[in-house]
A and B are shown apart, each in its own frame.
Chain A
Amino acid sequence: MNLIETPLSPVHGELEARGAQWGRVGQSPIAVHVDEPRIERQARATLALCDCSPLSKLGVKGPGTATWLGEQGVSVSDEAFESRALADGGVVVNLTGGEFFAESGPASEIVPKLAAHLGRGQTGVFGVERQDATFLLSGGKARQVLAQVCGIDFDQARPRQLILTRTAGVTCAVLPQPESDVEIYRLWVDHSHGLYLWQTLVQISGELGGRVVGAACFYPGLQVS
Chain B
Amino acid sequence: MKVIDCPIIGTRPAQEFHYGGELRQMPEPGQVDDEHWADYVFNRNGEPGIKREWWYHLPSGTWFIAERDNKSDQFIRTYLYPCQEADR
Contacts and interface: CB of A to CB of B under 8 A. Distances in A.
Interface in B47-69: 57-60
Contacts of A166: 15-16, 58-59
Contact of B9 (A151, A164, A171, A172): A164
A171 B58 contact: yes
Interface range on chain A (Cβ under 8 Å from partner):
10 to 19
A137 to B, nearest CB: 18
B71 interface: no
Contacts of A123: none
B36 interface: no
A151 B12 CA distance: 9
Contacts of B12: 151, 165
Contacts of A151: 12-13, 15
Most buried by A among B8, B9, B13, B59: B59
Contacts of B8: 80, 96
A101 to B, nearest CB: 12
Contacts of A164: 9, 57, 59-60
A78 to B, nearest CB: 14
B54 to A, nearest CB: 17
Most buried by A among B16, B58, B60: B60
A165 B16 CA distance: 7
B11 to A, nearest CB: 10
A172 B59 contact: yes
A173 B59 CA distance: 8
A80 B80 CA distance: 15
Contacts of B15: 151, 166
Interface string A142-153: 000000000100
Interface string B8-33: 11001101100000000000000000
Contacts of B59: 164-166, 171-173
A61 to B, nearest CB: 11
B43 to A, nearest CB: 33
Contacts of A171: 58-59
A95 B62 CA distance: 11
A171 B12 CA distance: 13
A166 B12 CA distance: 11
A96 B9 CA distance: 10
Interface of A: 80, 95-96, 151, 164-166, 171-173
Given A95-B60, A164-B57, A171-B58, 10 more contacts: A96-B8, A96-B60, A151-B13, A164-B9, A164-B60, A165-B16, A166-B58, A166-B59, A171-B59, A173-B59
Q: 8 tightest A-B contacts by CB?
A: A164-B59, A164-B60, A171-B59, A165-B59, A151-B13, A96-B8, A166-B59, A166-B16
22 contacts: A80-B8, A95-B60, A96-B8, A96-B60, A151-B12, A151-B13, A151-B15, A164-B9, A164-B57, A164-B59, A164-B60, A165-B12, A165-B16, A165-B59, A166-B15, A166-B16, A166-B58, A166-B59, A171-B58, A171-B59, A172-B59, A173-B59
